Amino acid sequence: PLQLLKLKEMFNSKFGSIPKFYVRAPGRVNLIGEHVDYCGYSVLPMAVEQDLLIAVEPVKTYTLQLANTNPLYPDFSTSATNIQIDKTKPLWHNYFLCGLKGIQEHFGLSNLTGMNCLVDGNIPPSSGLSSSSALVCCAGLVTLTVLGMNLSKVELAEICAKSERYIGTEGGGMDQSISFLAEEGTAKLIEFSPLRATNVNLPSGAVFVIANSCVEMNKAATSHFNIRVMECRLAAKLLAKYKSLQWDKVLQLEEVQAKLGISLEEMLLVTEDALHPEPYSPEEICTCLGITLEELRTQILSPNTQDVLIFKLYQRAKHVYSEAARVLQFKKICEEAPENTVQLLGELMNQSHMSCRDMYECSCPELDQLVDICRKFGAEGSRLTGAGWGGCTVSIVPADKLISFLANVHKAYYQRSDGSLAPEKQSLFATKPGGGALVFLEA
């Protein structure tokens, strides 16, 4: 409420009026299941308490005015009747426009009412905690509320997952789903097609701690992420062809497993047989599939991956199938709650990090160093979270070690002698599962 009152005052001094309502959407941390959602597999995230808040006033003009309490993000205004999203620049307001456009197109509306919006948030940006998806989800819920329409949380999540692709990121649906479907006190197993969420109760004797490597990673500004999506798509097609399935219709690694009707462990064996560890060239992929380079570029690859020269299909498939199995094991351990639950979950998180580092190559030296420091000072397990290449780690820490863990990690990673890392209070914090997106009417 204090945050709301402060936002109300800032809104008033910015727009000279009072907001009609407020929308919040949380950031999230993915406990296990990295880079598997866009392959069709389940993930296991929870919402964090950090969130994004938007104060909104619908106006009679057809102008959308966006402002941000953070001066790093400049004001933006546009005609609400003609929303253009520039894929070449992942500017902050474009994420808002994604959510708005998703709802607008879902209802087939040609023009929207104008509105004044002031955005406030405390999710560290480009840190792998889904600040961008929180903004997309928030904007979707803002637009829905202004229109006076209704949708279920699942429908909202699906629309926002699809609409974030306007910015050029070919992501799965994890971030948007947890933003809407999160509930306080529980993590969620999120499954796709059809989208559904199941509660996963985390062990009471441990705390999950987030540590920011302070290396920024913007998925929409770099091609790493989309290259991985394409490597997984190509691996799925080669595996399908090897098993004489209709490969041209296959897009996700999960579809190959489903069509073969075998376990994840068996899929790992098929991968060993079907793919080689040496990188594939575009020419070799074309030979395997019996297509031309032109067909590969125009019919399979996304625009920003058409010039890639090597594809590591074996490594990416091995990561995805093994990581998908770890998600299911994680959930099973939480349900059965054996004596050594924390240790077992920690081992899975450590295996996940190794696979992300070595097979998926989505870590970076700072993340590896931070993970090592976290393990050294008492974490039972630690891994990169939220795509990698920078951003955050998540660690499982026995509750009785938390205080010393925080102090030691702070000293070892954040208080460098050369002072190269700004000691941010947002960089290292214990977290517990928070609730999902909400609309408030009164501040």
d(CA 296, CA 281): 12
**CB contact at 8 A, 353 and 383:** yes
CB 300 within 8 A of CB 270: no
From the list 33, 43, 36, the residue with the least C-alpha distance to 254 is 36
Predicted confidence at residue 219, as pLDDT, reads 64
Match 């380079």 to its residue by tokens.
Answer: 293
- Cα maximum dimension of the chain: 67
- In terms of Cα–Cα distance, which of 2, 52, 38, 304 is closest to 161? 38
Q: Which of 51, 120, 175, 400 is catalytic?
A: 175
Contacts made by residues 247-251, CB under 8 angstroms, sequence distance 24+: 247/289
The CATH architecture one would assign to domain 1-201+434-441 is: 2-Layer Sandwich (3.30)
CA atoms within a 13 Å half-sphere pointing along the CA-CB vector of 409: 32
Q: Can you tell me the distance from the alpha carbon of 164 to that of 159, in angstroms, rounded to the nearest whole number?
A: 9
Cβ-contact 202, 208 below 8 angstroms: yes
- Which of 227, 233, 51, 44 minimizes the C-alpha distance to 124? 51
Task: Reply yes or no on whether 372 is catalytic.
Answer: no
pLDDT per residue, tens digit, the chain (443 aa), is 788 999 999 999 999 999 999 999 999 999 999 999 999 999 999 999 999 999 999 999 999 999 999 999 999 999 988 888 988 777 999 999 999 999 999 999 987 889 999 999 999 888 889 999 999 999 999 999 999 999 999 999 999 999 988 987 778 899 999 999 999 999 999 999 999 999 999 999 999 999 999 998 876 667 899 999 999 999 999 999 999 999 999 999 999 999 999 999 999 999 999 999 999 999 999 999 999 999 999 999 998 899 999 999 999 999 999 999 999 999 999 999 999 999 999 999 999 999 999 999 999 999 999 999 999 999 999 999 999 999 999 999 999 999 999 999 999 999 875 666 655 556 899 999 999 999 999 76
Please count the CA atoms within 13 angstroms of the CA of 201 that sit on its side-chain side: 6
The CA-atom distances, in angstroms, between 296 and each of 284, 300, 330, 375 are 11, 5, 37, 43
Structure tokens at 160: 């926002």
Report the Cα–Cα distance between both ends of the chain, in Å, rounded. Answer: 7
Specify the amino acid at residue 379.
A
Report the pLDDT value the prediction gives residue 113, as an integer from 0 to 100: 86
Label each residue of the chain as H, E or C: CHHHHHHHHHHHHHHCCCCCEEEEEEEEEEEECCCCHHHCCCEEEEEEEEEEEEEEEEECCCEEEEEECCCCCCCEEEECCCCCCCCCCCCHHHHHHHHHHHHHHHCCCCCCCEEEEEEEECCCCCCCCCHHHHHHHHHHHHHHHHHCCCCCHHHHHHHHHHHHHHHCCCCCCHHHHHHHHCECCEEEEEECCCCEEEEECCCCCEEEEEEECCCCCCCCCCCHHHHHHHHHHHHHHHHHHHCCCCHHHCCCHHHHHHHHCCCHHHHHHHHHHHCCCCCECHHHHHHHHCCCHHHHHHHHCCHHHCCCCCECHHHHHHHHHHHHHHHHHHHHHHHHCCCCHHHHHHHHHHHHHHHHHHCCCCCCHHHHHHHHHHHHCCCCEEEEECCCCCCEEEEEEEHHHHHHHHHHHHHHHHCCCCCCCCCCCCCEEEECCECCCEEECCC
